[in-house]
A = this chain, B = another copy of it.
Amino acid sequence: MLEIPNRHEATPTFGHGSRCEACPVRQRSLFGILPADRLDGLLRQVEEAEYAVGDVIYSTGERRSSVFTLRSGYIKLLRFLPDGQQRIVRLLKPSCTFGLEALMGDSYGHSAVVLERAAVCRISTAAIDGLRRNTPALHDQLMRRWQIALEEADAWLTELSTGKAPQRFSRLLCRMVDANGLAPLFSREDLGAMLAVTPEHASRMVVDFRRNGAIVDVSPGRCRCNVTILARLAAGGE
């Protein structure tokens, strides 16, 4: 079973008035649509932060008032069962927004834990609220973000909770490959928590996939995917 994630208070590097103009995910971000003048005031309220692997950005039930955007790296959203078991319910990639529930004053519904060194932008809900009153475009963006999260949740449910384990694993890899055919290969424990299998079984699958050429290691924690084979497996083929 997964441990309670590191509770060491994450001590990220913070920057201020961060260089949003140069941000790689700026266009795709929450505020990509705002006109420059509106943006200026807001950007001074954006804090930039770097988190290391294992850092906990926030945890379930915490009541803070920040919304986040991921600039680089990977983050997992965890949810706990009454018995302490935990399941990864979503995997965040750059340009994803998370912690939206803070906008309604709710406490966070997940724990957000860093899987791969992450650069994150933090905006206080107060800053957004001010803008929200008279910016319909921002409203639309917020709704869209929510809808994307919901899409993801549903896709996660259908693709990663249906079918046999190797099929699910293939689908996960297909979701993660970048343009170069590379995908992150997470710890067996995390893979287990995503696919609803034990770490041992996750390990066996990784070995199998390597053996039949579906994946090839290129560096620790990163592999090249043979999309042809993976697609066949994902579709239920042998």
Contacts and interface: CB of A to CB of B under 8 A. Distances in A.
A135 to B, nearest CB: 11
Interface residues of A, number: 40
Contacts of A132: 136, 139
A140 B82 CA distance: 30
A236 B83 CA distance: 8
A149 B236 CA distance: 30
Contact of A154 (B100, B109, B151, B163): B109
A159 interface: yes
A151 B109 contact: yes
A177 to B, nearest CB: 17
Given A79-B158, A81-B162, A109-B154, 15 more contacts: A79-B154, A83-B236, A87-B157, A87-B161, A89-B158, A100-B147, A101-B147, A104-B143, A132-B136, A133-B136, A143-B146, A146-B146, A146-B147, A153-B157, A162-B196
The 9 A-B residue pairs whose C-beta atoms are closest, nearest first, are A153-B153, A146-B146, A161-B161, A79-B158, A87-B158, A89-B154, A89-B157, A87-B162, A157-B157
